[in-house]
Amino acid sequence: MRIVVTGGAGFIGSNFIRHILSAYPDYHVMNLDKLTYAGNLENLTDIEQSDRYSFLKGDICDSALLDGVEYDAIVHFAAESHVDRSILDASPFLQTNIMGTYNLLEITRKKGCSFVHVSTDEVYGSTDDGYFSEQSPLMPNSPYAASKASSDMLVRSYVETHGIHAAITRCSNNYGPYQFPEKLIPLVMLNALERKPIPVYGDGMNVRDWIYVEDHCSAVDAVLHKGKAGDVYNIGVRNERPNIEIIRIILSTLAEKTSSDRKELFSLISYVKDREGHDRRYAIDPSKIEKDLGWRPEIDFEDGIARTIQWYLESRHWWERIISGDYLKYYDVQYGSRVKQ
Ligand code: NAD
Ligand code: DAU
């Protein structure tokens, strides 16, 4: 199988490429990425020499992008993904998440390949109790969530109208190696290691449902191979935690692993103004993907968070290059001359 992975230089996309290459020894993956601030080819240095991997720098809004490329499926991760940025400026979110997805749907229609659209539980909005099922109404509250909900609707319309083979996944909050340090979990770790304040929005009691990135990748793999066209699959692991609990777990583990003063680390916690429109609680019901596709997560939270903390402790070089901005030069230095533009 030849798969195009959009957004493969980002957090989940890079983990997914690694997952596919190791799970399927005869598959080829093309990573298609624009390399925005969130795209980092240093997430893939261990596999970039593989003859089953290639990289194409490009924008998913470009209609000629995949001309002349042969492939069987597109797995679509590329997006503007950070809620806080969408509050400051929604424009790139509308362009990439909506128009970019529209362009890929057109390409899918013309090529006749299959399509997996990687969406998010945020399209359902916030819930005080109960769980989001695939039938829950779409009630997005941030411009990011609205742009993802729009793209979900476009995918649905292309299945109904043009009969393309496409499925949608809606996953909860991911954590794990290679997550860009603007997101809560890596931000807490890096700020703690550098003894910087740790900003907690509002009262810290907003609840997220955390899944280890490798479990998300195996779920998308299941949908790619066994998903039904036109179906939506929720992905989650029934692991709801208030933000402040996550922060305390990370700080306690760091204190232990780095022989630091626990009190000093906890004193970095700094309650700040709440995020506008901050969703109170996300909670996914993953029964459908478990029942229909036989998918099961493999990594529980205690194991996953310990692995993640250990990875960040051992990957100082990776995150220091993000903080300094040097990671943005990797493409030109390593790739510029030998990659199809
Ligand atoms: P990320 O921000 O780490 O990576 C996004 C990638 O997309 C980057 O490599 C970036 O360069 C690329 N990209 C952005 N605009 C592009 C464009 N116009 N053309 C080509 N490439 C472009 O994101 P992530 O956290 O890995 O999320 C990946 C996908 O999963 C997104 O669609 C997101 O909505 C979805 N998702 C994320 C989470 C999560 O917790 N992070 C949970 C559920 C769903
Ligand atoms: O639910 C899936 C979504 O999870 C994905 O669709 C998004 O792409 C991804 O960014 C993530 O969105 P969140 O807004 O939930 O993630 P974030 O890491 O930004 O924030 C997690 C929680 O922590 C949220 O309640 C806001 C809070 N927070 C976040 C930051 C960055 C803080 O309290 N302080 C912070 O500095």
Q: What pLDDT sits at residue 337? A: 52
Mean pLDDT of the chain: 96
Residue 341: the pLDDT is 40
Q: What is the CATH number of domain 2-177+211-238+278-299+326-338?
A: 3.40.50.720
pLDDT digits (tens, 9 = 90+) for 217-233: 999 999 999 999 999 99
Tell how strand 207-209 and strand 240-242 pair up: antiparallel
pLDDT top residue among 124 and 338 = 124
Q: Is the pLDDT of residue 333 over 90?
A: no
- Give the pLDDT confidence score for residue 262 in this predicted structure: 97
Residue 253, helix vs strand vs coil: helix
- How far, in Å, is the centroid of ligand 2 from the Cα of 261? 27
For the stretch 234-287, pLDDT in tens is 999 999 999 999 999 999 999 999 999 999 999 999 999 999 999 999 999 999
pLDDT of 336 higher than 90: no
**102 tagged catalytic:** no
Query: What DSSP line would sit under 30-51, residue for residue?
Result: EEEE---TT--GGGGTTTTT-T
Q: Which residues contact 120 (CB under 8 A, 6 or more apart)?
A: 145, 148, 170, 171
Q: What is the mean pLDDT of residues 45-49?
A: 95
121 catalytic? Reply is yes
DSSP state of 195: T
Tell me which of 33, 42, 121, 215 is the catalytic residue.
Answer: 121
pLDDT grade for 307, boundaries at 50, 70 and 90:
very high
> CA 167, CA 114: separation in Å to the nearest integer?
9
Q: Is 269 helix (H, G, I), strand (E, B) or coil?
A: strand
147 to 62, 123, 276, 279: CA distances (angstroms): 18, 9, 17, 16
Nearest CA owner, ligand 1 atom 36: 120
Q: What is the pLDDT of residue 340?
A: 42
Q: How confident is the model at residue 339 (pLDDT cuts 50, 70, 90)?
A: very low
Angle between helices 184-193 and 316-324 (to 10 degrees): 90
Strands 114-120 and 165-171: parallel
pLDDT of residue 226: 98
Where exactly are the structural domains of the chain? 2-177+211-238+278-299+326-338
Single pTM value for the model: 0.98
Query: Is the distance from CB of 207 to CB of 282 less than 8 angstroms?
Result: yes
Nearest to 203 by CA among 273, 277, 127: 273
pLDDT in tens, 53-82: 999 999 999 999 999 999 999 999 999 999
Our answer to whether residue 182 is catalytic in this structure is: no
Give percent of the chain with pLDDT exceeding 90: 96
What is the Cα–Cα distance from 287 to 272, expressed in whole angstroms?
A: 36
Residues 241 and 207: beta-carbon distance below 8 Å: yes
Residue 11 Cα to ligand 1 middle (Å)? 7
- Nearest-angstrom CA–CA distance, 327 and 150: 32
Distances (CA, A) of 8 to 13, 32, 33, 51, 339: 4, 6, 6, 16, 15
The pLDDT tens digits for 74-128 are: 999 999 999 999 999 999 999 999 999 999 999 999 999 999 999 999 999 999 9
For residue 208, the surrounding DSSP H or E stretch is strand 207-209
Which pLDDT value is given to residue 20?
Answer: 98
Determine the pLDDT at residue 192.
98
Ligand 1 geometric centre to CA of 123 (Å):
15
